[in-house]
Structure 1
Amino acid sequence: RDDAELHALWTDPAAGLDRLARQMNDYWQLAVSEYWPRLRSLLEADVVHRARRLADGGPTSLFTDLAPSVSWHDDRLTIVHPRFAGHRQLDGEGLLLVPSAFVWPTVFSSTMPPWQPTLTYPARGVATLWGKQTTATAPALERVIGRSRTRLLLELDAPASTTELAYRTGLTPGAVSQHLGLLRSAGLVGASRSGRLVLYFRTDASDKLLTEVHD
């Protein structure tokens, strides 16, 4: 710790804040900006996935696979912290869920008033964030709908954009878009828009189809 720097921050917080903002921007440019499109795609995909889980099965479904330390039972959300114990009644404030690529394998919660109660958790699929080529196959399905479309369905275990799917599979973005269009027309793929980003996901029909061909 540099006491002189701490003293300077204490005596002139405005100047210290400006310096901190510049350093944070420098770090962003150096360590994050190049990879942000992929990170954002991962985070947006998790938001779509959680929304579908909530719509399909309520809070129980939403929190079931969020993290090992998180569970929902009898209208109560339990988060296991090794060094903290406490209770917070939300009273209608709601809970903000924040997916992150930097907190795996744990979660971080913030429940101190007056701030919005927040739970930051590992985004789904973060372990495969930098993977490119896929190895999973379903030969029986490939013979029916083709290898490329089968690979895309297998990759859509979590929602993904056309660019992300192209990166993972080695197909061109144009080819991915064409295949996804055909899969959508067959009811095997759905799409959800988040700003300028369109995320594709498997439908219940394709989930059932993949389960049957793997059995």
Structure 2
Amino acid sequence: MIEFVFHTDDVARVRFAFSPLWELVRGLRVLADPSRHALHLPWVHAVRPKLRGLDVGFLRSAVPATDYIPDFLTPPPGTPLPDFAAELEIVRATPPEVVAEELRLTERGGAAGAARRAMAAEPARTLEAVCVQLGRFWSAAVEPYWERIRDLLEGDVLRRTRALAANGAEGVFADLHPAVRWHGGTLFVDRRWDYRGELAGRGLLLVPSVFVWPQVSVMVPPYQPMLSYPPYGVATLWESSPAAPPDALAALIGRRRAELLLALGSPASTTELSRRLNVTPGAISQHLGVLRACGLVTGHRLGRRVLYTRTRAGDALAESPSVQ
């Protein structure tokens, strides 16, 4: 069991970030054992033909399907507006001795396999080869889907930031994951290994990740304390079309606007809504304008992008038993 002990001002130091590099590394695990991550089978089927010519086996030696992932491959993200190229440069700057040490580690303290030991024997060469293959894997398997993944991650950060402001730690952790529990100022995370410690001013970094589903991932001191978890709405990520809206709701506000309101159960951008509903971005913007004017949706700017989400009135209408 992992136990992070919070003191009075530690909740104020909870922050959110996400990482394209983390999604890439976790995506390698999904490809290695899709049966553990059945939710992502549509992605697996779509990307496998694109991986011909990539040395995926080499990357899998560094990122095993179960066991320990070397920490240098997943540096803690420092911003909610991440950039893959910048993250890859952080990996490339890892000291060779750190690369060698972490490649020799395993989750249960045993000896690393032959492939990992061979990689650790030439850490500088291994690091450069890993970075090259990570870049190729990103281009083939993750970048084409990054916009929809990013929408989901940004939406979760927005949702939980609002919950933190409104209800404190309880608002953030109450529905984070079945393995996570908040009680009496301590955050409990169900894991096979044990740790208990105070945050001691370091704060806690919360990192939503689509490919970590269905589990959570934890990092403890001396690293930045971190908890990675599946974002709200991850089950909708690979949907090609939304469910049909109830007839009563469609009759009230129009079928297309009803579909749009239901699709905003998790925040999304105009581009993502256009893809999911198979409607032009211009038409989506017009419908959003009507829904905003009625007080049913609102927009939140994140950098250069705007994410739309339902208001409380929109939630009440979409979830009302009378329209189900």
**TM-score exceeds 0.5:** yes
Residue identity opposite 1:209 in structure 2: L
What secondary structure does 1:106 align onto?
Answer: coil
Q: Equivalents in 1 of 2:285, 2:216: separation in Å?
A: 35
Contact 1:100-1:123 within 8 A present in 2 as well: yes
What secondary structure does 2:170 align onto?
Answer: helix
Question: Are positions 1:96 and 2:209 aligned together?
Answer: no
Deviations 1:85-142 (A, max 9, x none): 22121022111000101111110010121x2100010122222211021124132222
Contact 1:136-1:154 within 8 A present in 2 as well: no
Higher relative contact order (CA 8 A, sep 6+): 2
Q: Could you tell me how far 1:2 is from its partner in structure 2?
A: 4.9
Question: Are positions 1:106 and 2:215 aligned together?
Answer: yes
Percent identity of paired positions between Structure 1 and Structure 2: 47
RMSD: 1.8
Residue identity opposite 1:19 in structure 2: A
Report the TM-score when normalising by structure 2.
Answer: 0.61
Deviations 1:154-210 (A, max 9, x none): 111100111111111122111111111111121111111112221000001111222
Q: Equivalents in 1 of 2:155, 2:299: separation in Å?
A: 11
Residue identity opposite 1:118 in structure 2: M
Contact 2:155-2:307 within 8 A present in 1 as well: yes
Residue 8 to residue 97, structure 1, CA distance change in 2 (3 Å):
closer
| Residue in 1 that maps onto 2:95 | none
What secondary structure does 1:131 align onto?
Answer: coil
Find the partner of 1:62 among 152, 172, 182: 172
Q: Equivalents in 2 of 1:180, 1:56: separation in Å?
A: 26
Find the partner of 2:245 among 137, 140, 144: 137
Gaps in structure 1 of 5+ consecutive residues = none
Q: Equivalents in 1 of 2:151, 2:139: separation in Å?
A: 18
What secondary structure does 1:87 align onto?
Answer: strand
Question: Are positions 1:47 and 2:167 aligned together?
Answer: no
Q: Could you tell me how far 1:47 is from its partner in structure 2?
A: 0.9
Q: Could you tell me how far 1:6 is from its partner in structure 2?
A: 4.2
Q: Equivalents in 2 of 1:29, 1:84: separation in Å?
A: 35
Q: Equivalents in 1 of 2:237, 2:319: separation in Å?
A: 24
**Structure 1: 4+ residue segments shifted above 4 A:** 5-9
| Residue in 2 that maps onto 1:154 | 262
| Residue in 2 that maps onto 1:32 | 142
Q: Report how many residues are paired.
A: 211
Q: Could you tell me how far 1:7 is from its partner in structure 2?
A: 4.8
| Residue in 1 that maps onto 2:231 | 123
Contact 1:192-1:198 within 8 A present in 2 as well: yes
Q: Equivalents in 2 of 1:58, 1:182: separation in Å?
A: 33
Q: Equivalents in 1 of 2:162, 2:198: separation in Å?
A: 26
| Residue in 2 that maps onto 1:181 | 289
Contact 1:9-1:15 within 8 A present in 2 as well: no
Once structures 1 and 2 are overlaid, which stretch shifts more, 141-150 or 151-160? 141-150
Q: Equivalents in 2 of 1:131, 1:50: separation in Å?
A: 23
